[in-house]
């Protein structure tokens, strides 16, 4: 939805907060505008509480007076070094800044900033849809100042820079990521010249910190249809700079007339499937990386054709390096993504032939609480265009899921703790820590997972005694 006329726009601004902003600006005699993302989101009916205000004059002075006029409940923060201030009031966060002109140095994202006019301020913004301003002074309250046709671009669904895109992107290369991010979030198209400039300036991404890149990349991944963003990143050459492991999957080789599938586009389909099923950020990362091991594992086997043996394990090993390089968290979230990449072939392998209890128990044991996410990933991984094949797989997965529920109810394997632990084994045989204990524990775990021993204490103890015998250990009797 785009607001059609100025009357509608004024209506949206008819709130006590904007009335107070207007009054304060007039009292100080300062031209004052709401700008940027707030205006964009207001026009597309995506109301937010983050309001950016530009003042032709001192943003800090305006913020001080505005906070004072609101009285108790308003919280003012001043950032003198940046010449900005923030007022928090109820849900709203209003940022104040003086209109500025910026010039950039080629080797840094940090601009040289000078006072400027509203037009200077609009010129330095990233996209036409982010460069609109609405006047807050009483005489022109609600007037839209849109020098670059941002409203039309918003209506037409277009991302375009206000100035020459080479300048806009070279000034601040993070904007290239923002460009693709907005296009993905809003389902807009990137205007041709703007798109071409992405490719020309891709190298400049080097001067942007990994943390900032990842914020944008994660927003792309969290969009409703993330593949749109990845296609643009790839086509423009940006992906090669960020995630070359992924762009390397865009290849189809032929041997003896047989092709393998394009694993880049397959990966994007899986990612979209996961997004469509409501998968969260880290599950989406697992989808994005689930096949990265395929480049290294690809082989032509005359008997079978193209194979990607162990690509899941190779991929799992690649994940930490990728996380480290991209400044992604190296904590449980890394572990989770690694685990899902490593395990993503298991459900399909056990669904291939007869689904045995023992295979399902082992899967439950290895996946633990992430079993549902793993199953979702595996179902999303079925991108076959052959409807019969696809239905077959889905049917098999349904069976695996049913078995998972049954076995979990029966054996409670999900958070498996062996019913006889190391301490009890040491006491039982009156032994100190040694290799035999590990051996007995592994044998017990395997026996339970294979269904030879029930997951309960007495049966497990009997097994441990028997296993001890084979190792020359006898229980002490007292």
> Which residue, 39 or 292, has its beta carbon nearer to ligand CTP?
39
Print the binding letters for residues 20-59 with ligand CTP: x by CB under 6 A, - otherwise. Answer: ----------------xx--------------x-------
Say whether residue 153 binds ligand CTP (CB under 6 A).
Answer: no
173-192: which residues touch ligand CTP (CB under 6 A)? 174-175, 178
> Which residue, 37 or 320, has its beta carbon nearer to ligand CTP?
37
> Which residue, 164 or 253, has its beta carbon nearer to ligand CTP?
164
Pairing of strands 92-98, 50-55: parallel
> Which residue, 49 or 470, has its beta carbon nearer to ligand CTP?
49
Tokens, residue 295: 């480049």
Say whether residue 194 binds ligand CTP (CB under 6 A).
Answer: no
Stretch of 4-12, 170-178, 340-348, 365-373 lying at the interface with ligand CTP (CB under 6 A): 170-178
Shortest distance (Å) from residue 445 CB to ligand CTP: 49
Report in angstroms the alpha-carbon separations of 295 from 240, 261, 352, 376: 15, 12, 24, 24
Cα 173 to chain center, whole Å?
A: 20
Q: Which of 121, 153, 172, 379 binds ligand CTP (CB under 6 A)?
A: 172
Say whether residue 216 binds ligand CTP (CB under 6 A).
Answer: no
> Which residue, 37 or 454, has its beta carbon nearer to ligand CTP?
37
Say whether residue 126 binds ligand CTP (CB under 6 A).
Answer: yes
Print the binding letters for residues 83-122 with ligand CTP: x by CB under 6 A, - otherwise. Answer: ----------------------------------------
Stretch of 1-9, 126-134, 302-310, 328-336 lying at the interface with ligand CTP (CB under 6 A): 126-134
Say whether residue 130 binds ligand CTP (CB under 6 A).
Answer: yes
> Which residue, 172 or 291, has its beta carbon nearer to ligand CTP?
172
Shortest distance (Å) from residue 131 CB to ligand CTP: 6
Shortest distance (Å) from residue 175 CB to ligand CTP: 5
Q: For the chain, what is the HEC assignment?
A: CCCCCHHHHHHHCCCHHHHHHHHHHHHHCCCEEEECHHHHHHHCCCCCCEEEEEECCCHHHHHHHHHHHHCCCEEEEEEHHHCEEEEEECCEEEEEEECEEEECCCCCCCCEEEECCHHHHHHCCCCHHHCCEEECCHHHCCCEECCCCHHHHHHHCEECCCCCHHHHHHHCCHHHHHHHHHHHHHCCEECHHHHHHHHHHHHHHHHCCHHHHHHHHHHHHCCCCCHHHHHHHHHHCHHHHHCHHHHCCCCCCEECCEECCCHHHHHHHHHHHHHHCCCCHHHHHHHHHCCCCHHHHCEEECCCEEECCCHHHHHHHHHHHHHHHCCCCCCHHHHHHHHHHHHCCHHHHHHHCCCCHHHHHHHHHHHHHHHHHHHHHHHHCCCCCCHHHHHHHHHHHHHHHHHHHHHHHHHCCCCCCCCCCHHHHHHHHCCCCCHHHHHHHHHHHHHHHCCCCCCCHHHHHHHHHHHHHHCCCCCCCC
> Which residue, 132 or 360, has its beta carbon nearer to ligand CTP?
132
> Which residue, 173 or 347, has its beta carbon nearer to ligand CTP?
173
Q: Of how many residues is the chain composed?
A: 478
Shortest distance (Å) from residue 181 CB to ligand CTP: 8
Q: Which residues does 111 contact at the CB level (< 8 Å), separation at least 6?
A: 102, 103, 104, 105, 124, 171, 172
The residue whose Cβ lies closest to ligand CTP is: 37
Q: How many residues bind ligand CTP, per CB under 6 A?
A: 11
> Which residue, 181 or 266, has its beta carbon nearer to ligand CTP?
181
Stretch of 123-131, 291-299, 375-383, 423-431 lying at the interface with ligand CTP (CB under 6 A): 123-131
Stretch of 26-34, 124-132, 347-355, 363-371 lying at the interface with ligand CTP (CB under 6 A): 124-132
> Which residue, 41 or 143, has its beta carbon nearer to ligand CTP?
41
> Which residue, 172 or 370, has its beta carbon nearer to ligand CTP?
172
Shortest distance (Å) from residue 212 CB to ligand CTP: 9
Instruction: Check if the beta carbon of residue 218 is closer than 8 Å to that of residue 186.
Output: no
Contact residues toward ligand CTP (CB under 6 A) are 36-37, 52, 125-126, 130-131, 172, 174-175, 178
């Amino acid at each position: 939805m785009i607001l059609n006329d100025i009357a509608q726009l004024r209506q949206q601004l008819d709130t006590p907060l904007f009335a107070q902003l207007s009054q304060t600006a007039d009292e100080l005699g300062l031209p004052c505008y709401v700008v940027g993302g707030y205006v964009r989101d207001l026009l597309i009916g995506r109301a937010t509480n983050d309001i950016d205000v530009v003042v032709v004059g001192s943003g800090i002075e305006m913020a001080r007076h505005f906070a004072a006029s609101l009285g108790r409940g308003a919280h003012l923060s001043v950032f003198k070094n940046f010449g900005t201030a923030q007022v928090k009031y109820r849900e709203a966060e209003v940022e104040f800044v003086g209109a500025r002109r910026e010039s950039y140095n080629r080797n840094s994202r940090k601009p040289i900033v000078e006072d400027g006019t509203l037009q200077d301020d609009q010129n330095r913004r990233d996209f036409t849809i982010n460069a609109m301003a609405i006047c807050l002074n009483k005489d022109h309250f609600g007037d839209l100042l849109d020098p670059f046709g941002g409203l039309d671009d918003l209506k037409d669904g277009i991302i375009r820079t206000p100035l020459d895109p080479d300048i806009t992107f070279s000034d601040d290369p993070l904007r290239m990521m923002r460009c693709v991010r907005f296009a993905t979030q809003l389902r807009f198209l990137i205007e041709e010249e703007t798109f071409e400039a992405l490719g020309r300036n891709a190298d400049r991404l080097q001067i942007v910190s990994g943390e900032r890149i990842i914020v944008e990349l994660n927003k792309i991944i969290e969009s409703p249809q993330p593949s749109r963003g990845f296609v643009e990143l790839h086509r423009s050459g940006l992906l090669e700079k960020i995630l070359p492991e992924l762009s390397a999957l865009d290849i189809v080789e032929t041997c003896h007339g047989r092709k393998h599938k394009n694993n880049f586009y397959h990966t994007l389909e899986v990612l979209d499937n996961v997004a469509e099923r409501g998968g969260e950020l880290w599950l989406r990362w697992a989808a994005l990386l689930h096949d990265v091991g395929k480049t290294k594992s690809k082989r032509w086997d005359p008997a079978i054709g193209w194979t990607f043996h162990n690509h899941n394990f190779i991929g799992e090993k690649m994940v930490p390096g990728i996380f480290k390089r991209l400044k992604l968290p190296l904590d449980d979230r890394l572990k989770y993504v690694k685990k899902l990449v490593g395990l993503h072939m298991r459900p399909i392998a056990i669904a291939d032939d007869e689904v045995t209890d023992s295979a399902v128990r082992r899967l439950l044991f290895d996946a633990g609480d992430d079993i549902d996410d793993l199953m979702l990933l595996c179902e999303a991984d079925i991108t076959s265009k052959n409807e019969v094949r696809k239905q077959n797989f889905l049917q098999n997965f349904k069976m695996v899921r049913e078995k998972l529920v049954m076995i979990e109810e029966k054996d409670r394997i999900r958070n498996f703790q062996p019913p006889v632990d190391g301490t009890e084994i040491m006491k039982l045989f009156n032994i100190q820590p040694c290799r035999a204990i590990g051996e007995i524990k592994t044998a017990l775990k395997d026996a339970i997972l294979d269904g030879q021993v029930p997951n309960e204490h007495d049966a497990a103890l009997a097994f441990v005694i028997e296993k001890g015998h084979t190792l020359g250990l006898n229980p002490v009797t007292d």
